[in-house]
């Protein structure tokens, strides 16, 4: 994987991203926490570009590129795609967008992702938007909206929750220790959740009395 890492480092060091002030917000939350809906609202109201690590990997596979074939083979073999591969795709998407404000959704998935992102890009997130939602509520939402989907039976859903808790919570705890986590109560109705999100993204948000 050295070539991918080298390429990613080279791109970061001479990239457009290092030439301007870039705002990055990591968006984390369990499956069914409503991240996608709220990211769409943030894009519409605050002019961010929404990047989903999973979507970028799927698009790369679909493109039929050599990189895409490698990613597909790793997924089929049950292996985890190396952080550097995902980071390289995120970097490319950020540079090609021409924007300087990004929501990175569903990444970093674990501590290794987090450390690699900061090392390769030289970018620390401004903050982490964490959609905190009880497992029972996420389960209810997934079952009601995805009836009939094979990957959304109870066992699979609970497995996804477990993976999220084990992998992503250390990332949230790390950034929380740096005062960078903005926790949103995602169990409320969509409109109420967005009201809380708006406070976080409004420049005077830190001074708003809650």
Could you list the beta-strand ranges (E) of 71-204.
101-105, 127-132, 181-185
Residue 58 among known ligand-binding residues: yes
148 is in an annotated binding site: no
Residue 149 among known ligand-binding residues: yes
Residue 140 assigned ligand-binding role: no
CB 74 within 8 A of CB 81: yes
Q: Is 162 annotated as a binding residue?
A: no
Is 47 flagged in the annotation as binding?
A: no
CA distances, 21 to each of 11, 17, 135, 191 (Å): 16, 8, 37, 31
| Residue 108 marked ligand-binding | yes
Dist. CA 27–CA 128, nearest whole Å = 6
Asked whether the beta carbons of 7 and 88 are under 8 A apart, the reply is: yes
Report yes or no: 208 and 202 within 8 Å, Cβ to Cβ: yes
| φ, ψ for residue 131, nearest 5 deg | -85, 105
Give me the half-sphere count of Cα atoms (radius 13 Å) on the Cβ side of residue 198: 9
Q: Determine whether the annotation assigns residue 106 to a binding site.
A: yes
CA dihedral sign of residues 97, 100, 102, 107: positive
Answer yes or no: is 34 a known binding residue: yes
26 labelled as ligand-binding? no
Residue 31 assigned ligand-binding role: no
Does 182 show up as a binding residue in the annotation? no
> Annotation-wise, does 87 bind a ligand?
no
Residue 33 known to bind ligand: yes
Task: Determine if residue 181 is labeled as part of a ligand binding site.
Answer: no
**What are 181's strand-pairing partners?**
128
Binding residues for CMP: 113
Binding residues: 32-37, 58, 79-81, 106-109, 113, 145, 149, 160, 188
Binding residues for a ribonucleoside 5'-phosphate: 58, 79-81, 106-109, 149, 160
Binding residues for ATP: 32-37, 145, 188
């Amino acid at each position: 994987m050295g070539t991918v890492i080298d390429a990613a480092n080279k791109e970061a060091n001479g990239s457009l991203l290092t030439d301007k002030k870039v705002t990055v917000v990591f968006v984390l939350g369990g499956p069914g926490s409503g991240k996608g809906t709220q990211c769409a609202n943030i894009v519409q109201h605050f002019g961010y570009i929404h990047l989903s690590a999973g979507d970028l990997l799927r698009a790369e596979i679909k493109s039929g590129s050599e990189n895409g074939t490698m990613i597909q083979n790793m997924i089929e073999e049950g292996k985890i795609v190396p952080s550097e591969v995902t980071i390289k795709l995120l970097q490319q998407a950020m540079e090609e967008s021409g924007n300087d404000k990004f929501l990175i959704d569903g990444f970093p998935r674990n501590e290794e992702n987090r450390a690699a992102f900061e090392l390769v890009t030289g970018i620390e997130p401004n903050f982490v938007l964490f959609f905190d939602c009880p497992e029972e509520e996420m389960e209810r939402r997934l079952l009601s909206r995805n009836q009939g989907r094979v990957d959304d039976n109870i066992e699979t859903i609970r497995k996804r929750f477990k993976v999220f808790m084990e992998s992503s919570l250390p990332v949230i705890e790390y950034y929380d220790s740096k005062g960078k986590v903005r926790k949103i109560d995602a169990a409320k109705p969509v409109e109420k959740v967005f009201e809380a999100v708006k406070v976080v993204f409004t420049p005077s948000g830190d001074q708003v009395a809650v």
